[in-house]
Structures are given as C-alpha cells and as structure tokens.
Amino acid sequence: MTIKRNLSLAKLAAVQITTGPNIEINLRAVEQQLIKAVNAGANIIALPEVFACYDSQQYQAIGREEITAAGRLRKQMASWAQGYRVYLIGGTIPVLEPISQKVYPRCYFYNDEGDELGYYDKLHLFDVDIDDAHSRYRESDAFLSGDEIKLFPTRYGNIGLTICYDLRFPYLYEKLRKAGADIISVVAAFTAKTGKAHWQTLLQARAIEQQCFILAANQWGRHDPKRSTYGHSMIVSPWGEVLDQLPEGEGIACAEIDLAEMEKIRREMPLINHQRNL
C-alpha cells in the first residue's frame, strides 16, 4: 500500500503512565492521556509497552482473549483510534501462541479510521542480569520473539515499529530506514537502572544515525516492589534534538514534526548513500 506523504507539519505524542496489574485502572489512565494528546493536536500517538497490564501472571489469560480482533484490548485500541481520529501505535499486548502456550509481545497499528493495519512482534527479548531489585530478567521464559520488521505508510510519513530492548540493536533501525521509515516508534518499559544510563543516548543515536524522527513512549515509576521504569518519554528529531520530553509522572510528550526539514537534513548529509558494504 502506498500513501502520499504530507510534507506539512504533523504532531506526535508519546503517552507515559505507570501500569499496574488492574486492567480497568490502566485503561482509564491511558484514555486520560489520549484525550490530552488529542487536545494538543496530535495526529500520531504511541502507547508504552505493557500499557494494559504489567503482571506476568495474567499474560497467558489476556493473550488467549487477544488472539482475534474481537479481543477486548484490540477492540479498545480500534475504538480509540476511530473515536479520536488518530493513528495509534498500540504499545504492546500479549497474544497467545497456542502450541507453546507462550505469548508474543505484540504492537498493533491502527489508522485514524480505527482499522487494524497490522502488528509488530518484538524481535529482541530482554534476557539480562541487572543490578536492581528485580535482578534477573528472562523474557524468553514467557515470550516468543518476532522475525520481521514492520513499516506502515501514513499521510504523515512511513512509521516503523520497535519495542524496548530493540533500541540497543542499530541494524534494526537501519533496516527500517532503508525500507523507507520517516518516523520510528519505540514503545518501552525501560528499567530505571538502564534508562538512567542509556535511554536518551540510544534514542538520540538512532535518530541521528537513521535521520528519522523517534517517537519514544516509556513507562514510568514503581509498578511493584521489584520493578521500576525510567519514564523520560520523548520525541527526537533527525538531527538528534529532543523536541519534547516528560521526565517523570504520567502525561504526554508532544511535538510538531516537519518532514520537509527531515528531507533537507537527508539531502545535505546523505548518509544512506555513503554506506559501504565491507
């Protein structure tokens, strides 16, 4: 599908919340921020990773319900996109794979008419050891990884999707840029420990390297006695400038983007033409 890009200004918004185990409370918190973003004029809105529930004990049951588009969360996202007339990047929800009984951490994408255009499954699973209260993270115990990049054309530019730990793998962003990405979203629950060290640096690096706008929606705060996330949701320009940022608390980061300015940056410094295959 080809959609003509609108080189006039558009507005991006990243939703930042503190998700817990109660789905009802989480969905109400998300909608409050969606309303705020829409009132600010946002055309494209990204939700953070695990926006509906941050409790691994519930993922399998939720994932079973979300196998079809009739799932509660998928219907809710479609309703938000249609009702608020925005392109919606749906953070992640768990979707069950029946044979393994594991779930995909899946990001759905909706157009501004509420149509579910597709999804991206997280490519890189967070299997690491960190010096924080949780200490040992093993996403592969419960999750399955995807195996392909995803890019969605809109009239505001081509949008590539990534999820949290993906941010540490530059080749993924290079593949999205070469596929035509203008905007790359990062939906995340980046830990407080690693976020403080690397979050902003990595976001700016990916923006500068690929000369794309980066739309980064992160979780913030303490989710349970062992899990804390960093916040600092932000929008970064292709020049690496932080256009807006929400360091702490629930709310939104929101900024206008100009694809014509992006094209100028790419034209004057044509990095993609200077790459060599060694």
Residue pLDDT, tens place only, 182-226: 999 999 999 999 999 999 999 999 999 999 999 999 999 999 998
For this structure, is 102 an active site residue? Answer: no
Residues of the domain holding 145: 9-274
Q: What is the pLDDT of residue 233?
A: 99
The proportion of the chain whose per-residue pLDDT surpasses 90, expressed as a percent, equals: 93
Measured between alpha carbons, how far is 92 from 89 in angstroms, rounded to an integer? Answer: 9
Is 1 inside a domain boundary?
Answer: no
| Burial state string for 171-199 with b = 16 or more CB within 10 A and e = fewer than 16 | ebbbbbbeeebbbbbbbbbbbbbbbeeeb
Which of 122, 139, 212, 250 is an active site residue?
122
Q: What is the pLDDT of residue 114?
A: 98
**Domain CATH for 112:** 3.60.110.10
pLDDT higher than threshold 80 for residue 7: no
Is 4 inside a domain boundary?
Answer: no
pTM to 2 decimals?
0.96
Q: What is the pLDDT of residue 1?
A: 47
**Overall number of domains in the chain:** 1
Of 43, 17, 14, whose CA–CA distance to 253 is shortest? 14
Is 30 inside a domain boundary?
Answer: yes
- Report the pLDDT averaged over residues 76-101: 98
Which of 107, 164, 212, 254 is an active site residue?
164
For this structure, is 113 an active site residue? Answer: no
Is 264 inside a domain boundary?
Answer: yes
For this structure, is 49 an active site residue? Answer: yes
